[in-house]
């Protein structure tokens, strides 16, 4: 068993599951979406992105692209949360919470695409 591939797969799947955990719940209810789970999703997605930099194949390029999309959307979600909570002073309204969760949903889709590519790549490998 290749430890590098285990770690790579672990972080890809972990990023998707953390993002799913944040995403699930009523879209406009802040009580259903924990800020620490969003933070963990951002951090794990960034780690997964760093792990994808070494692959120079076409599939590796798609892996990196999906990871960059997820990072961008999760960071945007965190920035919106930070802005409404600390700068605008409006707090988490249902409208802003919906925007945050929607950005997380886009990142979740990118994570799912990455997991599907990982599974397809694993199935295509010959022993």
pLDDT tens digit sequence for 104-125: 999 999 999 999 999 998 888 8
> Which residue is associated with the tokens 């290749």?
2
Question: What is the rounded average pLDDT of the residues 101-106?
Answer: 96
Q: Quote the pLDDT of residue 52.
A: 87
Q: Quote the pLDDT of residue 101.
A: 97
Q: Quote the pLDDT of residue 54.
A: 77
Domain positions in the chain: 3-124
Q: Quote the pLDDT of residue 94.
A: 92
Q: Quote the pLDDT of residue 47.
A: 96
Its pTM stands at 0.91
pLDDT tens digit sequence for 1-60: 789 889 999 999 999 999 999 999 999 999 999 999 999 999 999 999 999 887 788 888
């Amino acid at each position: 068993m290749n430890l590098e591939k285990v770690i790579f797969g672990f972080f890809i799947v972990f990023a998707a599951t953390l993002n799913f955990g944040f995403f699930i719940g009523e879209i406009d209810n802040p009580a259903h979406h924990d800020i620490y789970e969003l933070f963990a999703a951002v951090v794990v997605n960034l780690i997964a992105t760093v792990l994808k930099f070494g692959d120079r194949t076409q599939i590796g390029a798609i892996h990196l692209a999906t990871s960059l999309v997820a990072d961008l959307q999760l960071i945007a979600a965190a920035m919106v949360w930070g802005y409404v909570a600390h700068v605008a002073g409006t707090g988490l309204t249902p409208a802003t919470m919906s925007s945050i969760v929607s950005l997380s949903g886009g990142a979740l889709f990118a994570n799912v695409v990455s997991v599907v590519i990982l599974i397809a790549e694993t199935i295509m490998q010959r022993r």
